[in-house]
Copies of this chain bind each other. A is one copy, B any other.
């Protein structure tokens, strides 16, 4: 996986060395070149290889880089929407250059992603399919983002509503990525659909694990304050479950930190302890694990290979990672 991630880094660097406006180019490169786990390109390359061998990993690289560019474009725009001042240990693009340049850099990244995707080898029919998949994916992500913003003002968000939002905002990029990588590697539509389902469930378990880490990770390893979601009153699976499980004094104690930006660290720690105490943490972990297991089951349709084993390991990596 490390090797795939470094290949993705190099390809990303190359694909983003374009443009006639040096200032815009710098703003475009700021977030993607600041690092990141490159999960999406790694996934795409592994899927390609599992479908059709090592050369197909290379064929799937443009799909993976296009996804990474789209992922970064959404980060740049989301940071404006959420007024997040930091990203990957640096000021976010809007913080450094202002909203206007950040909006514009995000748009340019989005456009660039389609140029990158067209670099995928193979028949034009597949590339047309690929563009349609990516475009419909971005519309879905925008819908998920809109739901996420709605949730901030909603009095009640159900578990089903939350999972529907995650499906669009997070899982869709993994499911579309796995599907497109499989198609570029030459997989028949039915096989590629199985990999889409693999990607979807992997994405969901990734997001739930992400929510868990926001509350339970080691702060130094996380690189951002622990419990930020709690202070922001973010509706995560953990928070929804906790709000539904606690009563009386415990619920009041949880609410003393939940949704309160100014809550003292001790109150946040108490809220985290309540999430664990009421069983919500365990249930979220079990849910992430179960989604992961279902993802892995989809791999049975592929012939056994080291690449297939890596796709399996990828899921366990996602649901057991500590950062």
Using a CB–CB cutoff of 8 Å, the interface residues on chain A facing chain B are: 18-21, 23-24, 74, 77, 80-81, 99-101, 103-108, 110-115, 118, 123-125, 127-128, 131-132, 134-140, 142-143, 145-147, 149-150
Contacts and interface: CB of A to CB of B under 8 A. Distances in A.
A124 to B, nearest CB: 4
Contacts of A77: 103-104, 107
Given A21-B147, A23-B150, A118-B132, 7 more contacts: A77-B103, A80-B103, A99-B99, A110-B111, A111-B139, A114-B132, A118-B131
B127 A100 contact: no
A132 B138 CA distance: 17
Nearest to A132: B118
A45 B94 CA distance: 39
A106 to B, nearest CB: 8
B138 A104 contact: no
A229 B106 CA distance: 27
Contacts of A134: 114
A20 B124 contact: no
B124 A138 contact: no
25 contacts: A19-B139, A19-B143, A20-B140, A20-B143, A21-B146, A23-B146, A77-B103, A80-B100, A80-B103, A99-B99, A103-B103, A106-B107, A107-B107, A108-B142, A110-B111, A110-B138, A111-B138, A111-B142, A114-B114, A114-B131, A115-B135, A118-B128, A124-B125, A127-B128, A131-B131
